[in-house]
Structure 1
Amino acid sequence: MHGRSSIRSKLQELEHRPSKQRGQNFVVNPRVLEAIIEFGAPKQGERLVEVGPGLGALTEKLLTFGPLTAIEIEQSFCDELRSKFPELEVILHDVRTFDFASLGRDLVVFGNLPYIYSTDIIFHLLSSRASLKRAVLLLQREFAERLAAGPGGREYGRISVACQVYCDLRLGPVISGEAFFPRPKVESRLIEIVFLPQPRHEVEDHKWLERVVKASFAKRRKKLVNSLKASGLFSGEHAAKALEASAIDPGRRAETLRLEEFVRLAKELARFSKPAGNT
Structure 2
Amino acid sequence: MAASASAPIAMNEALTLPSLGINQQFITFTHVTMESEKYICVRETSPQNSVVIIDMSMPNQPLRRTITADSALMNPNSRILALKAQLPGTTQDHLQIFNIELKAKIKSHQMPEQVVFWKWVTPKMLGLVTQTAVYHWTIEGEAEPVKMFERTANLVNNQIINYRCDPSEKWLVLIGIAPGSPERPQLVKGNMQLFSVDQQRSQALEAHAASFGSFKVPGNENPSTLISFATKTVNAGQITSKLHVIELGAQPGEYVPPQSNFSC
Report the TM range for the smaller structure's normalisation: under 0.3
Q: Which has the higher strand share?
A: 2
Q: Which has the higher helix share?
A: 1
Q: TM-score, normalized by length of structure 1?
A: 0.24
Greater RCO (CA < 8 Å, at least 6 residues apart): 1
Q: TM-score, normalized by length of structure 2?
A: 0.24
